[in-house]
Amino acid sequence: MSPALATLVCLAFIAYLYWLDLRRPNGLSHALWVPLAWMFIAGSRYVSSWLGLSPTFQTAADFAEGSPIDRAVFFSLIIAGVIILARRKIEWARLFRDNWWLCLYLLYCLSSVTWTDEPFILLKRFVKDLGNFVMVLVVLTDRRPYEAMAALLRRLAFLTLPLSALFIKYYPGLARDYRPGGGVMYTGIGHQKNDLGLLCLLAGLYLLWELLRRDDGRQPNFARENRLVAIILGMLMLWLLNMSDSKTPVVCLTAATILLTMGRLPFVARQPGWLIGATIASVPLVWILNNSQVKEFIFSLIGRDASLTNRTEVWELVGQFSGNPIVGVGFMSFWSGERIDEIWRQLGVQINQAHNGYIEQYLNLGIVGVGFIIGIMLFALLHIAREMKLDPGTNMLRLSIVAAAVLYNITEASFYGTNNMWVLFLLGVIQPPLAGQSVPSAAPAARARVAARGLGALRPQALFARRLDGANTASRLRFKRQSQPSRSPQPA
C-alpha cells in the first residue's frame, strides 16, 4: 500500500471512530474539543514542530525562551478554556473548598517566585501550567464529568494510535529517532519513544476500563460496536507499546489491570476500602523492593538494568546542584541558568527533567513540595474510598489513574508542565463542584448488583455519574432530586 493510500485509509478510520463516538446518546459538551486539542499537542509534538519551525535548544537561554508560535497556541487554548468556564455556573467556593490541598499547593508554587533565581521564567511557566488546570476543569464541570473524562481519553486514542501506526509504517523518517549508541527508537507522532509510551498508557487505561467493565444489556448493537472498536484499538495499542520499547507504561498498565480485575471480585465490592488500603500499602513495598537485591531481578524481567537506562547517574548528578532542601529553587526553576548548562556539559546530552517525579519535585520545591504531592494523593484516595460503593466504576478508574501516576513518576517527571500524565493525574484527584450532579436511578438495586457481581456491575450511565458529597446520605440526595427541579448548568 502506498503512503498516500495508507493515509486516506487511516483518516477514514479516524473519521469513522469519531462518527461512531458522536452517536453516543450522552449529550456531552462541544467544549471538550478544547482540552482534546491541548492534550493532542502536549502528547505528540508542539505546533512549531509540526510546522517545521521548532527552535534549536543549544543553551539555557534558548530553552527558557521557547517558541513564540507555541506560546500563542497554548495561550489561545487557555483563553478559550477560561471563556468556557466563565459561561458555566460553577460553585467556585465549593470547588476551592473541596480541593484545598491543590489550592494551597498552587499558592505555594506561586510564592516560590520570592526565592527563585529566575522570577520571570517561573511566572511564565506557572501561567502555562495553569492551563492544565483550566483544561481539567473544562472536563470536570461538564454535566457528566466522568463521562466527559472517558470521552476525552477515548477521542485522544482515536487520533494518537492510528496516526502513530501510520507514521511508523509509512513515514519512518518522521517516526524514528536514534539513541546515542546508534539504536533505532520508534516515536510515532511523539518526539521520542517515551512520548509514544505515554500515549499508549493513556489509551490503555481507558481501554482496560472499557473492556473490563460490565455492560447493562441496553442498546446491545451499540455496545457491541464500541466493544469491537475497543478491542481493535487495544491490539493497536499493544503493538505500538511494543514498538516504543518503553517499560514504564507496561508496568503502569499491569498495575491498572490488576486493580480493575480485582474490582470485579464480589468480596472486594463488599469491602472496597480493602483495595484502597492495599494500594496505599504497596507504596512502601515498592520503596523496599527498590532498595533491595530483588530490584535487579525485577528489572531483568522487564528488560532493564538496575540503573534504569542510566537514570541513576542523572539522579546522582542533579542532587549535586540541589538548592534549599526545604523549599527548593522555585517552581519549575531548576532547569535554567548556568545550572542547566553545567548539567548538560557533564552528562553530554540535553535533558530537561530528572526522570523521577519525586526527585524533580524536591529539586524545584523541596521537601515541602514533595509533601504536597503525597498529600494530594492521599486526599484523593480518601475521597475514592468514601465514594467507592456509591459510584464504583468511576472510582475504580480514578484509583487506577492515581496508581499509574505513582508508578510513572518513578522513572519520569510529570507532576508539572505541559504533559498528559499531569493532566490525567489532575483528572483523577480533583473533586468537581456538585452543581448539576446527577444521581443514578434505582441506586439501591445498583448497589445490590455491585455486592453480587463486583465493582464493574453498574450500568454505563452510573459509572460516570457525578460524585456526591460524603457528608450527605444517598437517601437524602435522592429525596432532594425528587422534590426539587434540576439546576444543572448548561455547558458551553
- As a whole number, mean pLDDT of residues 399-404 equals 91
Q: Can you tell me the distance from the alpha carbon of 7 to that of 1, in angstroms, rounded to the nearest whole number?
A: 10
Calculate the CA dihedral of residues 145, 409, 210, 452 and round it to 10 degrees: -90
- The strand pairing partners of 186, in sequence order, are 176
DSSP state of 113: G
Answering whether pTM is above 0.75, one says yes
H or E element at residue 244: helix 220-244
DSSP conformation letters of 4-66: HHHHHHHHHHHHHHHHHHHTSTT---GGGHHHHHHHHHHHS--HHHHTT-PPP--SHHHHHH-
CA–CA gap between residue 191 and residue 196 (Å, rounded): 8
* Angle, in degrees to the nearest 10, between helices 392-408 and 273-290: 10
Q: How far apart are CA 5 and CA 18, in angstroms?
A: 20
Read off the pLDDT band of 401 (50, 70, 90).
very high
Q: Which residue has the cell 519535585?
A: 361
Strands 184-186 and 176-178: antiparallel
DSSP one-letter string for 291-340: TSTHHHHHHHHTT--TTTTTHHHHHHHHHTT--BTTTBS-TT-SSSHHHH
> Distance (Å, rounded) from C-alpha 343 to C-alpha 327?
21
308 CB burial (10 A radius; 0-12, 13-18, 19+): buried
At residue 259 the predicted structure's pLDDT band, cuts being 50, 70 and 90, is confident
pLDDT surpassing 80 at residue 444: no
Calpha distance 307→313 (Å, rounded): 7
pLDDT bin (cut points 50, 70, 90) of residue 45 is: very high
The answer to whether 212 and 261 have CB atoms below 8 angstroms apart is yes
Q: From CA 7, how far away is CA 170, in angstroms rounded? A: 8
- List the grid coordinates of 74: 497554548
Name the residue among 59, 52, 58, 54 with its Cα closest to residue 71: 54
Least confidently predicted of 3-12, 444-453, 459-468: 459-468
Backbone region of residue 59 per phi and psi (left: phi > 0; alpha: psi in -120 to 50; beta: other values): beta
Tens of pLDDT, residues 195-253: 999 999 999 999 988 887 655 555 555 567 778 888 899 999 999 999 988 888 999 99
What pLDDT sits at residue 489? 38
The pLDDT > 90 percentage for the chain reads 44
